[in-house]
Amino acid sequence: MRTNFFPIQFQFSEYQVSRVEYTEELLGELREKHNKSHSFFRHDEFIYISNKSGIDLGIGKTITLSLENEKVTSSLIKHIFFKTFLENYPKSKLNGFYPFRLPSGKNETDLMRSLLPEQLKGKLVYSPQIECQIRRCYINDTLQYGFLVNLFRTYKFNITLQDLEWEGYDILNKEVVHAQPIKGLTEILLPDETFIGILQSVKEDIGVVLTNEGEKEFPLSQLFLRKTHSNIKDYLSFALKDEGKAQLILDKLKVTRSQVQKPEKKLSAIKYAADILFTYQKQNISYANKDGFCFTVDMEHNNSYSSFDLTEATYVFDPAVTKTDSWNDRGLRNYGPYDKSYFDVKTPKIIAICHKKNRGSMSSFLGAFIGGIPESKYFKKGLKSKYELNNVDIEIIEINDFTIDEVKVAVSSLSESPNLVLLEIPVSFKAERAVQKSLYFQAKAHILSLQIPVQVVTVENIKTFDEYKLNAIALQCYAKIGGVPWSIVTSQSIDHEIVVGIGHSSFRNNSFKGNDQTRIVGISTFFSGDGQYLMSGDIKDVTYEEYFEALLKSLRESLISLSRSYAWKENSTVRLIFHIFKPLKNLEFEVITELIKEFKQYQIQFAFVTISERHPHLMYDLKQLGLSNRYNNKVKGKYVPFRGKNIVLNDSSCLIQMLGAKEIKTDFHGASVPLLVKILKPSNFKVDDELAKYLFHDLNYIAQQVYRFSSLSWRGFFPNQKPATMLYSSLISGLLGNLRKIEGWNSTVINLHLKRKKWFL
């Protein structure tokens, strides 16, 4: 397995470094006087000094530290690497010190250059930027420091608003960024760009910008268009005097971009970037300061990584676990849904709301939806037979226009409450950005408030349905009316286990600097009972301020409910596994502390596990030469590891490839990033030692659990990039966070009749 990790090699295990007691004034003074030759950084109550090329300052005390002192060692590595790079490439300007970001200045790396006419070359740029960060990973069974190297391509808009105005381009009412030089670092770092707001007016060479702090004035020479697709297209259309040509250029760029993002091209580009960073004149760089701290970077890639043997989920279709299959859709076709023997909605009533001009299309859609497509492979039976329903009572209600008033009138005409509303809307309405004006969210809020799940289907899908679309919609609908399509087999254990998914969504009125942000947390609880994972507990959306109490209350209620349902005995071990979006300092550990105090009759174990797609790690399998793409006979997935391939990074984290070469649909899709799974530990927290004995450390167990949970989602039949815990809680927080913006919405309704139904799918 190949990664983008380049190990650092030391010839020592201990080193000497000078330090002096910290004061803010002293740190500022040292940096101002000696920044060109020395580096200064704070750790705890000391300022650490790294002399790269200057004289001995004769201050502080020299101490001996181990390489295991990660904070100080990492800081020394960063500073020495940075200083050495500037010595070798004195004319380079960076976009940031850490992560270290080096933009390309070469014309040949600009993907737009060949697509633009001569007068626009260099004005609009789409070029790569090298990014470099320090991590510690197990290499050849040894925990080593190393650099993670990445390559990202971004737009550059090298035209000020002043120049654009001189060209005659209408700059008013455009989103703009302010480029401000960084004091004292103008020779090293590029200006800091900040998205500040919308240009309201121009007074001579001064732009008046509406910001989150009111109207502010900036020189037009310091303002640039925000690098969005719409702004790029708008300027191109102006400069070329042809919107069609502008779109053609952007379409060609999209194709070119997909080619350079292919794994084999990306890996080659990363190797080239590493050569720039860690070699000079074809020789490996030796990094050192005058205190004897030195290292080199291994460029050979002869690295061996540890891994786990992860097994795919086995799907279960009856509570006795006698009907199982390795493929969920085949199991459903052969055995019916998991809860068929006790599901009490055997004749669901479904109301379909459509525009009157689409009545015929809706009727055809519903016929295939309920009865199936006989000649198809995956949807022969339709909703009725595949999910073993006695019948489906269906009624179509026509509306005159796609407005919330029309939808409300249609729903108010019902003589009885249906089990599901199937609502047709145009795809453009679903993509409406202004939530308060969106029919999608307005209709969701109104219908859910009536305790009725709603399935939105676009006009386009109703008119062009096929077995794949119908199959996925039927699965979601069955879950929304309260059904359980399948469960998964889990390892047998004498311990009781609750798995809690905590997702979040952030909502802003705009993206300008200084904007207030509302963060909504979604909590959905999964628990293990009789070997299957099911769901329990209230579904909640809360703000960060309410997070502590909501999480504590949710766990308390679940523990009480489950202990009664499964007759837990005193001194039983209860394991709490949290799949969490991002820890809020040590708040989650405070919740556990309170919980342990309240439930002294049980032996509580716990683990907080972060599951992230946003991280700098990459994985490549050079033995994977690609698979045939059935759509165009081209090779897809070259160098993409198969699903389940993984790398152990250290004793608390690993990478797992969730969507592999087989899951990639076409050769244009590149590769999905692996998930970073990490078991958290409390840091700088008074209960650190107290909680240590309760921490659950089994990374192999956690990795297997996360992997299997990716097959538990009822949103579709394919394994998901995220485990269902994170997917569901994110869907909950995202939907409820938006519904909060709809007048009259009250989220308490979801824990009444909707509580056991997957209304958020």
Q: What is the span of the domain harbouring residue 432?
A: 344-480
571 and 718 fall within a common domain: yes
Joined together, the tokens standing for residue 652 give 């608390």
Burial class of residue 336 in the structure, from the number of CB atoms within 10 Å of its CB (0-12 exposed, 13-18 middle, 19+ buried)? buried
Task: Tell me what pLDDT residue 407 has.
Answer: 92
266, 297, 328 — which closes off a domain?
297
Distance of CA 332 to the CA centre of its chain: 30
Whether 737 is covered by a domain: the verdict is yes
- What is the three-class DSSP state of 345? coil
What integer pLDDT is reported at residue 519 of this predicted model?
Answer: 58
Residue 112 lies in a domain: yes
Beta bridge partners of 506: 519
Report the C-alpha gap between 622 and 640 in whole angstroms.
8
- Say how far residue 358 (Cα) sits from the centre of its chain: 37
Query: Measured at the alpha carbon of residue 760, what is the angle toward residues 757 and 761, in degrees to the nearest 5?
Result: 95
Split into its structural domains, the chain has a count of: 4
* Residue 328 belongs to some domain of the structure: no
- The candidate with the shortest Cα–Cα distance to 126, out of 25, 283, 252, 264, is 252
Note the pLDDT of residue 529.
47
Asked if residue 759 is part of any domain, the answer here is no
User: How far is Cα 745 from Cα 360, in angstroms, rounded to an integer?
Assistant: 33
Q: Do 601 and 721 have their domain in common?
A: yes
Residue 95 zone, left/alpha/beta (φ > 0; ψ -120 to 50; rest): alpha
Those residues whose C-beta lies under 8 Å from the C-beta of residue 401, and which sit 6 or more positions away, are: 355
Residue-wise pLDDT for 188-247, tens only, equals 778 788 888 889 999 888 988 888 778 888 999 999 998 888 899 999 999 999 899 999
For the entire predicted model, the pTM comes to 0.88
Beta-ladder partners of 177 = 195, 224
For residue 531, what pLDDT is reported? 45
Residues 6+ apart with CB under 8 A from 244: none
Which CATH number covers residue 436? 3.40.50.2300
Q: Does 60 share its domain with 18?
A: yes
| 115, 116, 118, 124 alpha-carbon torsion, rounded to 10° | -130
CATH of the domain at 527: 3.30.420.10
Query: Is residue 315 a part of any domain in this protein?
Result: no
Low-confidence ranges of the chain (pLDDT < 50): 529-531, 685
Question: Do residues 556 and 461 both lie within one domain?
Answer: no
Supply angle C-alpha 336, 342, 347, rounded to 5. Answer: 75
User: Which pLDDT belongs to residue 507?
Assistant: 55
Q: Is residue 330 part of a domain?
A: no
Regarding whether 206 and 257 lie in a shared domain, the answer is: yes
Q: Rounded to whole angstroms, how far apart are CA atoms 413 and 447?
A: 13
The tokens describing 479, both together, are 């879950």
**How do strand 287-288 and strand 294-297 relate by DSSP bridges?**
antiparallel
Based on the fold, state whether residues 170 and 239 are members of the same structural domain: yes
Checking DSSP bridges between strand 14-21 and strand 635-636, what pairing results, if any?
unpaired
- Last residue of a domain, which of 445, 480, 515? 480
pLDDT value at residue 537: 54
Q: Are residues 637 and 549 in the same domain?
A: no
Same domain, 429 and 563: no
- Whether residues 30 and 106 share a domain: the answer is yes
Alpha carbon distance 129, 96 (integer Å): 11
Q: Which residues pair with 17 in a beta bridge?
A: 63
Whether 332 is covered by a domain: the verdict is no
Domain check: are 280 and 387 in the same one?
no
Q: What is the pLDDT of residues 417-471, one digit of tens each?
A: 999 999 999 988 776 667 888 899 999 999 999 999 999 999 999 999 999 999 9
Specify if 311 maps to a domain: no
CA 395 to chain centre: 39
Nearest partner of 719 among 755, 687, 675, judged by Cα? 675
Residues 607 and 626 in one domain: no
Q: Which of 672, 692, 719 is the last residue of a domain?
A: 672
For the chain, the C-alpha Rg in angstroms (whole number) is 29
With 0-12 / 13-18 / 19 or more C-beta atoms within 10 angstroms meaning exposed / middle / buried, residue 326 is: exposed
DSSP H or E segment with residue 627: strand 627-628
Tokens of 227: 């690098």
Report pLDDT for 508.
Answer: 54
Distance CA 62, CA 48 (A): 10
Give me the phi and psi of 601, to 5 degrees please.
Answer: -75, -10
> 429 and 449 in one domain?
yes
